[in-house]
């Protein structure tokens, strides 16, 4: 997780006069985040005011429903003159153009966007890999031993904040977002009411005009659609609809506003992950992520050196020209041009899944890299790699390459993987079941650095590819010509040594 600052909410309880301010023209995520923060401070006997400023009051019907039905105590204060002891900007950063500046003795920042201001103090908490600011606030509240589910209205607001800021949950990628989504107890009827009031007649016209002006790229079967500035959910609606078109495998829909370029990506091609494409489009200019099929992102306009449409179209071409697709099941690598290596002795973690839940249990394994659904059998294990990465391994292959030790396995994770029994809902963290193994150094592989990006479909996962960048290694086991895999270049140098 890209994080700036390690502030805790309890650090802010020393201030008496507190104002929470979201960005001008607040969206559902800003409203939810500020609302939950206000609830936290009120539970701690603090008097707090929640405001927004700017030129325009809230007018969107779904947001008006949200404020009314969830009883969100927010005030529109275009000419706010008081100077609080502490101002907390939420879902935005003090000094940005999209938040009218309010004078304060001290300023705290809670956000999930890329760091956009120079002044960052100890009262700053920016988690830029998280899908919504609502998730950031939810996690901060939980870290203080409180549960937003104690107030159903707050919980509903938090859920809708994530729902809205991740395009109906289609762009959720971080495990904390998924944890919040799974744990909140919310009013479904209120969510339905807001969702069904999300599009105005004007936005319906925006959708129609955008779709009529599509650009189709036949060689790679993708559409590029530019819309007028609108609610980000409209982009998802446009790209969802466009993807149903014959001979369209990928759709990119976007708009350009004063402060940002917002885009939505959809894919029904197994060779193109929407989240990977979104990250490629925003690389160095913002952020992008989501699921394999649905994703999105944001680009900061001040970082653009050319028109947004020109940049996005260039990057789409670069993306398709950049990679080679390999299907391991049908591929035999020419090992005459590859060096022989074996693993250096190293200690790793391993978890036998049947120690966590009984064999036959359907489970969901949640890691920083994503969710994996499987059913436990007596030969299934999880390896914990040198970088904390999690990957499955069968007992036979584990025993042929590793031996168990008597050392206790300890490791710090940015996000500790956890396993959920999908029948009962019971969740257990992985590390308490981990044992330490040491590689035997007997496994021989052929490997070489990649000279171009690769998408590798292994012999066991024909519907999912693994990405390799230039400089990463492509490897194949000497005893199995179809056991082809990608090894990160940073990990390879620490885990393998050349033979001969």
**Over the chain (500 residues), what is each successive 10-residue block's mean pLDDT?**
73 96 93 98 96 91 95 96 95 88 94 77 86 96 97 98 88 89 96 87 90 94 94 85 94 91 92 90 86 84 92 95 89 92 87 95 88 90 84 87 88 87 93 90 88 88 82 92 90 85
Check residue 380 and give its pLDDT.
92
> For position 407, what pLDDT does the model report?
86
**What are the pLDDT digits (tens) for 414-451?**
888 899 999 999 999 999 999 999 887 777 899 999 99
Q: What pLDDT does residue 1 have?
A: 47
- Give the number of other CB atoms < 10 A from CB of residue 335: 15
Q: How many helices (H) and strands (E) would you count in the chain?
A: 13, 30
| Cβ–Cβ < 8 Å for 361, 375 | yes
Among 29, 23, 34, 27, CA closest to 97: 23
Q: Is 3-195 a CATH 3.90.1640.10 domain?
A: yes
Q: What ranges do the domains of the chain cover?
A: 3-195, 201-322, 335-498
pLDDT of residue 236: 85
Q: List the one residue out of 280, 278, 285 whose CA is nearest residue 303.
A: 285
Q: What is the fold, at CATH topology level, of the domain defined by 201-322?
A: Diaminopimelate Epimerase; Chain A, domain 1 (3.10.310)
Please provide residue 72's backbone torsions phi and psi, each rounded to the nearest 5 degrees.
Answer: -80, 120
Q: What is the pTM of this model?
A: 0.72
Is the four-CA dihedral 297, 302, 306, 308 of positive or negative sign?
Answer: positive
CA distance 385 to 417: 12
Q: What is the pLDDT of residue 5?
A: 63
What pLDDT shows up at residue 416? Answer: 86
Strand partners, 419: 365, 428
Residue 177, H or E segment: helix 175-183
Task: Strand 402-404: give its sheet, edge to edge.
Answer: 390-394, 380-384, 347-352, 435-439, 402-404
């Amino acid at each position: 997780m890209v994080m700036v600052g390690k502030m805790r909410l309890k650090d802010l309880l020393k201030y008496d006069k507190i104002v929470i301010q979201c960005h001008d023209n607040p969206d559902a995520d800003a409203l939810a985040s500020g609302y939950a923060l206000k609830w936290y401070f009120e539970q701690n006997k603090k008097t707090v005011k929640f405001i927004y400023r700017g030129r325009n009051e809230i007018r969107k019907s779904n947001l008006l429903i949200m404020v009314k039905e969830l009883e969100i105590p927010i005030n529109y204060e275009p000419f706010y003159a008081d100077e609080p002891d502490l101002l907390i900007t939420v879902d935005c950063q003090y000094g940005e153009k999209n938040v009218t500046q309010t004078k304060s003795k001290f300023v705290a920042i809670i956000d999930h966007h890329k760091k956009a201001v120079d002044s960052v103090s100890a009262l700053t908490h920016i988690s830029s890999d998280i899908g919504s600011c609502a998730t950031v606030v939810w996690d901060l509240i939980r870290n203080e031993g409180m549960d937003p589910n104690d107030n159903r209205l707050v919980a509903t607001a938090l859920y809708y904040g994530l729902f809205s800021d991740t395009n109906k949950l289609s762009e959720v990628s971080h495990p904390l977002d998924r944890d919040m989504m799974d744990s909140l107890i919310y009013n479904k009827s209120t969510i339905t009411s807001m969702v069904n009031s999300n599009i105005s007649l004007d936005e319906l016209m925006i959708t129609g005009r955008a779709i009529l002006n599509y650009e189709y790229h036949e060689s790679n079967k993708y559409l590029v659609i530019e819309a007028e500035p609108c609610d980000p959910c409209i982009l998802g609606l446009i790209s969802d609809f466009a993807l149903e078109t014959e001979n369209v495998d990928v759709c990119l829909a976007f708009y350009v506003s004063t402060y940002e370029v917002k885009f939505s990506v959809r894919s029904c091609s197994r060779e193109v992950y929407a989240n990977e494409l979104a990250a490629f489009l925003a690389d160095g200019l913002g952020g992008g992520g989501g699921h394999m099929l649905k994703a999105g992102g944001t680009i900061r306009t001040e970082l653009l050196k050319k028109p947004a449409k020109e940049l996005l179209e260039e990057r789409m071409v670069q993306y398709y020209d950049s990679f080679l697709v390999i299907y391991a099941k049908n591929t035999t690598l020419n090992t005459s041009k590859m060096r022989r290596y074996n693993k250096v002795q190293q200690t790793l973690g391993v978890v036998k899944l049947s120690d966590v839940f009984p064999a036959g249990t359907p489970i969901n394994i949640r890691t920083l890299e994503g969710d994996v659904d499987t059913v436990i059998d007596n030969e299934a294990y999880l390896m914990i790699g040198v970088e904390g990465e999690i990957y499955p391994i069968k007992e036979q292959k584990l025993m042929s390459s590793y031996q168990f030790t008597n050392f206790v396995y300890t490791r710090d994770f940015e996000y500790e993987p956890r396993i959920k029994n999908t029948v009962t809902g019971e969740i257990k963290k992985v590390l308490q079941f981990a044992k330490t193994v040491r590689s035997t150094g007997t496994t021989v592989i052929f490997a070489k650095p990649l000279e171009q990006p690769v998408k590798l479909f292994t012999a066991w996962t024909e519907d999912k590819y693994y990405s390799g960048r230039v400089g990463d290694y492509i490897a194949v086991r000497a005893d199995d010509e179809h056991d082809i895999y990608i090894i990160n270049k940073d990990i390879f140098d620490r885990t393998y040594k050349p033979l001969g």
